[in-house]
């Protein structure tokens, strides 16, 4: 994707009335626009206060003008910023004056896009700008700042450097067979590949934290009727969001609530009780419940601890594990433990096989244990170093790269095919470069930057 030669402008602050509003201009005509508006010779990176003039020398407003000559600017081009009073009509008059000078309105994300195309930031840093603006918690903002400062990119580039170094050695050994270096038989190469994979796993763990901080953890509360699912939703939400009665089947549709636990955003979904029903309305609710379970990051299966444990519960546990695809994405929540007298043999079996929490949604006893389990699942209570903001596409690229590295290791230990090892290493390298944008299609770039707000 080539950098446009056109000069662009946009209002960089939210619409409406305020103390000030900021207009950004970037491109070859930026300084000319500044001179026209201020009738001043602007000194780079100095604030100039004075009136802003129209083409017929009428004063539109007064404020501050800043000039950042390229390439030492955010976009890498000449940039000016006009800080005027935050009235919509004033800003519109200034904007119209700028547009008469051969400047066009910027597309969403075009300033960040130009910064990326001019090598001022990489793609992960550009995405972090949008993620910082859209942060929905203090922790998410901290994660985004780490990415914006280049922490995530530095780790990715370090992995790429390690892969390239190992690739160079492997390919050199194949190109010069007379040297009789059997790299496939050398434990050092295998150890180096293992170290790269371990490093990638650490980055992947931190990236998963960042994805949860950005998108939130989708948690589905499931279980049989009258197990206390809606009571659990209410206590987690801190308010009475779901109707709670002693009548089984009160909840017949999905109910969503957005909450935060110690800065971790959660999308909690309460669902209809899972059981065999002849009621058409209940059947639809159960169908929707299974759909949510399939798409959940985590399922909380609520079990009534006061009832005799029966085989149907075991079948429900197995069905949820099979539908969701991973038993690690399931926590068994034994509710009403304040009323339960004892645990069954079946319950003891599940305690050994799954992550379990005992609580009382009614009294609040054990709720802190559930919150800790949720943070453990998200990786926020581990010894993993602080996370950085990341997106689903970053996780996909990291997992794809790890798959190629695993394949390379398998080729080394089984088929002994050097050419295949080198090719897998090359693919692992390219997968990581998609994250920083060194190897990315124009279509993906267009999709990413079009989601940014105008003026960024």
pLDDT single digits (tens) 73-86:
999 999 999 999 98
Relative to beta strand 59-68, strand 48-53 is: antiparallel
Whether the pLDDT of residue 40 is over 60: the answer is yes
Kindly list the distances between the CA atom of residue 87 and the CA atoms of 16, 22, 25, 259, 456, in Å, as whole numbers in the listed order: 7, 11, 19, 35, 20
Whether the pLDDT of residue 241 is over 70: the answer is no
Q: What is the mean pLDDT of residues 388-410?
A: 91
Please, how many CA atoms are within 13 Å of residue 139, restricted to the half-sphere of its CB?
17
* pLDDT of res. 83: 95
Please, how many CA atoms are within 13 Å of residue 411, restricted to the half-sphere of its CB?
19
* Residue 381: pLDDT band with limits 50, 70, 90: low
Q: Is the dihedral of CA 317, 322, 326, 329 positive or negative?
A: negative
For residue 219, the cross-strand partners are: 268, 298
- Check: CB of residue 200 under 8 Å from CB of residue 398: yes
Instruction: Print the SS3 string covering the chain.
Output: CCCCCCCEEEECCCCCCEEEEEEEEECCCHHHHHHHHHCCCCCCCCCEEEEEECCCCCEEEEEEEEEECCCCCCCCCCEEEEEEEECHHHHHHHHHHHHCCCCEECCCCHHHHHHHHCCCCCHHHHHHHHHHHCCCCHHHHHHHHHHHCCHHHHHHHHHHHHHHHHHHHHHHHHHCHHHCCCHHHCHHHHHHHHHHHHHHHHHHHHHHHHHHHHHCEEEEEEECCCCCHHHHHHHHHCCCCCCCCCCCCCCCCCEEEEEEECCEEEEEEECCCCCCCCCHHHHHHHHHHHHHHHHCCEEEEEEECCCCCCHHHHHHHHHHHHHHCCHHHEEEEEECCCCCCCCCHHHHHHHHHCEEEECCCCCCCCHHHHHHHHHHHHCCCCCCCCCCCCCHHHHHHHHHHHHHHHHHHHHHHHHCCHHHHHHHHHHHHHHHHHHHCCCCCHHHHHHHHHCCCCCC
CA dist., res. 65 & res. 63, Å (int)? 7
* pLDDT of res. 31: 95
Q: How many residues does the chain have?
A: 456
Whether the pLDDT of residue 346 is over 80: the answer is no
For residue 24, the cross-strand partners are: 10, 81
* pLDDT of res. 416: 66
Largest Cα–Cα distance of the chain, in whole Å? 89
Residue written as token pair 């069905």: 319
Whether the pLDDT of residue 285 is over 60: the answer is yes
Whether the pLDDT of residue 178 is over 60: the answer is no
Q: What is the mean pLDDT of residues 192-205?
A: 92
CA dist., res. 25 & res. 106, Å (int)? 9
- Check: CB of residue 419 under 8 Å from CB of residue 167: no
User: Which one is predicted more confidently, 456 or 180?
Assistant: 456
Domain boundaries, the chain: 8-121, 216-358
Whether the pLDDT of residue 27 is over 90: the answer is yes
Domain 8-121 has CATH 3.40.50.880: no
Residue written as token pair 């009571």: 231
- Check: CB of residue 123 under 8 Å from CB of residue 448: yes
Domain 216-358 has CATH 3.40.50.2300: no
- Supply the mean pLDDT for the chain: 84
Kindly list the distances between the CA atom of residue 96 and the CA atoms of 27, 61, 68, 117, in Å, as whole numbers in the listed order: 17, 13, 22, 28
Say what the pTM is: 0.76
Assigned token pair, 355: 């992550």
CA dist., res. 312 & res. 433, Å (int)? 49
CA dist., res. 103 & res. 95, Å (int)? 10
Of all residues in the chain, the percent with pLDDT exceeding 90 is 42
Radius of gyration, CA atoms only, the chain: 29
For residue 185, the cross-strand partners are: none
Strand arrangement, sheet containing 48-53: 48-53, 59-68, 79-86, 18-26, 8-11, 104-105
pLDDT single digits (tens) 303-343:
888 877 667 777 888 888 887 666 668 899 999 888 876 66
């Amino acid at each position: 994707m080539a950098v446009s030669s056109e000069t662009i402008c946009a209002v960089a602050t939210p619409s409406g009335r305020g103390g000030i509003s900021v207009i950004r201009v970037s491109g070859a005509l930026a300084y000319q626009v500044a001179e026209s508006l201020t009738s001043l010779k602007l000194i780079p990176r100095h604030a100039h206060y004075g009136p802003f003039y129209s083409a017929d020398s009428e004063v539109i407003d007064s404020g501050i003008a800043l000039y950042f000559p390229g390439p030492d600017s955010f976009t890498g081009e000449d940039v000016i910023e006009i800080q005027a009073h935050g009235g919509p009509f004033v800003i519109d008059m200034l904007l119209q004056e700028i547009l008469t000078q051969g400047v066009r309105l910027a597309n969403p994300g075009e300033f960040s896009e130009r910064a990326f195309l001019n090598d001022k930031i990489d793609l992960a840093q550009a995405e972090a700008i949008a993620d910082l603006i859209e942060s929905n918690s203090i922790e998410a903002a901290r994660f985004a700042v780490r990415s914006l400062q280049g922490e995530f990119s530095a780790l990715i580039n370090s992995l790429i450097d390690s892969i390239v170094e190992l690739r160079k050695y492997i390919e050199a050994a194949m190109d010069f067979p007379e040297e009789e270096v059997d790299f496939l038989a050398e434990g050092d190469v295998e150890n180096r590949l293992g170290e790269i994979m371990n490093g990638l796993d650490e980055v992947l763990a931190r990236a998963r934290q960042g994805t949860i901080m950005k998108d939130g953890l989708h948690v589905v509360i499931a279980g049989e009727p009258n197990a206390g699912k809606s009571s659990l939703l209410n206590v987690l939400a801190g308010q009475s969001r779901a109707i709670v009665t002693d009548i089984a089947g009160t909840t017949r549709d999905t109910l969503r609530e957005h909450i935060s636990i110690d800065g971790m955003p959660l999308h909690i979904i309460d669902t209809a009780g899972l059981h065999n029903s002849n009621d058409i309305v209940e059947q639809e609710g159960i169908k929707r419940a299974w759909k949510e379970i399939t798409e959940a990051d985590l399922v909380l299966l609520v079990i009534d601890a006061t009832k005799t444990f029966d085989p149907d519960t075991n079948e429900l546990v197995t069905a949820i594990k099979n539908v969701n695809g991973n038993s690690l994405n399931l926590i068994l929540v034994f509710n009403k433990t304040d009323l339960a007298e004892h645990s069954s043999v079946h319950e003891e079996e599940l305690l050994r096989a799954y992550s379990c929490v005992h609580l009382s949604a009614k009294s609040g006893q054990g709720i802190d244990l559930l919150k800790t389990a949720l943070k453990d699942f998200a990786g926020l209570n581990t010894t993993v170093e602080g996370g950085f903001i990341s997106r689903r596409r970053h996780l996909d690229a990291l997992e794809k790269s790890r798959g190629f590295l695993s394949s390379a290791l398998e080729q080394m230990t089984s088929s002994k095919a050097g050419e295949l090892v080198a090719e897998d290493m090359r693919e692992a390298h390219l997968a990581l470069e998609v994250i920083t944008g060194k190897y990315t299609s124009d279509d993906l770039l267009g999709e990413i930057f079009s989601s940014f707000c105008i003026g960024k």
